[in-house]
Amino acid sequence: MNPRIVLRPSVPRTAWALEQTGIHPLLARLYAARGVQQPEDLDDSLAKLLPPTGLAGTADAARLLADVIQQGRRIVVVADYDCDGATACAVALRGLKLLGARAEDVGYVVPDRAIHGYGLTSAIVDLAAKHRPDLLVTVDNGIASIEGVAHARALGIHVLVTDHHLPAIDTQGEVTLPAADVIVNPNQPACSFPSKCLAGVGVMFYVLLAARAELRARGAFSPEEQPRLDTLLDLVALGTVADVVKLDANNRRLVAQGLKRLRAGRMQPGVSALFQVAGRDPQRASTFDFGFALGPRINAAGRLADMTLGIECLLTDDPGRALELAQQLDAINRERREVESGMREQAEALLDKLMPEGDPPAALALFDPEFHEGVVGIVASRLKDKLHRPTFVFALGQDGLLKGSGRSIPGFHLRDALDLVSKRHPGVLRRFGGHAMAAGCTLAEEDFGTFDAAFQAVAAESLAPEQLHRQVLSDGALEAQWFDAEVARVLDQQVWGPAFEAPVFSDDVIVVSQRLVGERHLKLSLRLAGSLRDAIWFGRSDPIPERTRMAFRINADEYQGRVRVQVIVEAIVD
């Protein structure tokens, strides 16, 4: 079934007003359709960032960090094994040193996905305790680590939790927070911070801003001589985009500032090396590079190897060492793609067996003993995109339990669904957590059938039939005058992402020719907007009708020094 096209609302008066201020006419139209009211909404200067004072816990965190730094006590950062966690760890370590912590007083540990599981577990606390820390600082985890925090405190270790995930909920439906010294998380109760969408790396960056203000107030440095924390914004931008959080105005500013620094050649050696191995140009850096070139290479370390590789790549100041580590990450990512491809084929074959004909159920849960724990999230995402159903994919962990990763569709809050399953079937979910669109859980293999049925039931109750039909938000037709390489480059330079999506256009087309390239992609010549256009549909091998309606993007394709506009087909739509 083809996706249904839904046109974004047209706001001609606002678009005209934006255009009168000098904004490109096409951008003015696109911005207006995304809720931009005035040019000030597009001001991405650092001065427009929300102040740290509004983020609950930052003042206490700042005092705690300032005390530890000034007293020369030891800090161990507890990282996570995805790109957000890796960049947050690098931001924490680099930032703490900028604020005056001695290199020998700052270290980190990162869980092994297969051995330790997620978050500040007691096992990770024991691993960190070998470094004799006075303070543990979690990044991108910890808000649901009730037992781990209690274990650390019992050992006499102070704990600062920085996280952005939703807190745990007990059997009575009450929010339960760990007994940490300080918690900084925009999604904890009673936090009025306007941007609830900060990534883990964004939360840590805000904690550092607050700590710098505290140290400045203590006379550690003058305003003129204070450390330049903006040097960390390439990492903040990378982690924010890679974690696929909503790009509200505050997150767009963080990402825009990171991109500006990259395009000006100011970045960590590891970031530069990742651009090099990905074959991308940092002078033309875009959110696409973060989400589809750099992010996956860092994530691959946590999926198939050890995230220490990714963190070390972002921490080293030696360009040669950075390139060596980036090349290792690139090789692991190639292996990840092969594993993922094989798992996706297995999963699709399993689906064909379970559902030989007809529409799939309202939600999917798949498990195969041969699935690899490190890529279940990616496979769940691919299946979710293909079938437009909330999807969980499970693999067998080293501890004998099933480790599942889920992805959702608009209108279905995945973490809340897991909470409902847990309440209806106490004890089935050993652990769970996450967000609206992505979540994880752990269960015993013998409970998989119960989970599958319960997950389907919750989805069937929650989702209306029209929500199970994929929709494509379109900006309408693209006028012939905007099929231009320079326009495509202007579009590519903007900060697009969730809640501020990149433009997708739609129009009727005539397919003049089509052929398969690379066995997986369809190369097309289209009559579109009055002219013949080159187009490609990545991942599509089946032929398409001569006359159809398409959703598409445009990009500037450079080949042998010649730049031309290429149409990237997203879907055939109704």
**pLDDT tens profile 410-419:** 999 999 999 9
Q: CA-CA distances (angstroms) from residue 44 to 18, 255, 257, 458, 528? A: 16, 9, 7, 41, 35
Residue 190 structure tokens = 């009673």
Contact 279, 297 (CB under 8 A): no
Contact 392, 429 (CB under 8 A): no
pLDDT at 518: 83
pLDDT at 170: 80
146-154 and 122-129 are packed helices; what angle lies between their axes, rounded to 10 degrees?
30
Rg of the chain over CA atoms, in angstroms? 24
pLDDT at 291: 96
CA distance 173 to 330: 44
Q: CA-CA distances (angstroms) from residue 150 to 120, 138, 167, 177, 181? A: 10, 14, 16, 11, 11
Contact 552, 504 (CB under 8 A): yes
Determine the average pLDDT of the residues in 490-499: 95
Residue 113 structure tokens = 């996905």
pLDDT tens-digit map of 381-392: 999 998 999 999
pLDDT tens-digit map of 525-539: 999 999 999 999 998
The residues near 439 (Cβ < 8 Å, ≥ 6 apart) are 405, 406, 408, 414, 415, 417, 418, 432, 433
pLDDT at 330: 97
pLDDT tens-digit map of 39-51: 999 999 999 999 9
CA distance 453 to 438: 19
Residue 61 structure tokens = 């965190």
Contact 62, 211 (CB under 8 A): yes
414-424 and 448-462 are packed helices; what angle lies between their axes, rounded to 10 degrees?
120
Name the more confident of 117 and 49.
49
**Residue ranges of domains in the chain:** 4-9+471-572, 50-307, 355-468
Asked whether residue 249 carries a pLDDT value surpassing 80, the answer given is yes
Determine the average pLDDT of the residues in 421-438: 92
Contact 508, 552 (CB under 8 A): no
The residues near 562 (Cβ < 8 Å, ≥ 6 apart) are none
Determine the average pLDDT of the residues in 423-452: 94
Asked whether residue 356 carries a pLDDT value surpassing 70, the answer given is no
The residues near 21 (Cβ < 8 Å, ≥ 6 apart) are 39
Contact 94, 227 (CB under 8 A): no
pLDDT at 561: 74
pLDDT at 113: 77
pLDDT at 115: 79
Asked whether residue 495 carries a pLDDT value surpassing 80, the answer given is yes
Kindly report the number of other CB atoms within 10 A of residue 45's CB atom. 9
- Strand, coil or helix: what is 513? strand
User: Which fold would CATH assign to domain 4-9+471-572?
Assistant: OB fold (Dihydrolipoamide Acetyltransferase, E2P) (2.40.50)
Looking at 448-529, which runs of residues are DSSP E strands? 471-474, 505-517, 521-528
CA distance 355 to 140: 37
pLDDT tens-digit map of 17-64: 999 999 999 999 999 999 999 999 999 999 999 999 999 999 999 999
Contact 209, 52 (CB under 8 A): yes
Determine the average pLDDT of the residues in 192-206: 97
CA distance 493 to 259: 9
Determine the average pLDDT of the residues in 538-548: 93
Determine the average pLDDT of the residues in 205-216: 98
> The domain at 50-307 falls in which architecture?
Alpha-Beta Complex (3.90)
Kindly report the number of other CB atoms within 10 A of residue 103's CB atom. 9
Q: Sort residue 462 into left (φ over 0), alpha (ψ -120 to 50) or beta.
A: alpha
CA distance 350 to 361: 14
Contact 530, 501 (CB under 8 A): no
Type of residue numbered 406: G
Determine the average pLDDT of the residues in 111-139: 92
Percent of the chain with pLDDT over 70: 99
Asked whether residue 253 carries a pLDDT value surpassing 70, the answer given is yes
Output the average pLDDT for the chain: 95
CA distance 288 to 295: 10
Contact 351, 363 (CB under 8 A): no
Give me the CATH code for the 355-468 domain, please. Answer: 3.10.310.30
CA atoms within 13 A on the CB side of 468: 17
Percent of the chain with pLDDT over 90: 89
> Residue 233 class from Cβ within 10 Å (0-12 exposed, 13-18 middle, 19+ buried)?
buried
Stated pTM of the model: 0.94
Contact 207, 162 (CB under 8 A): yes
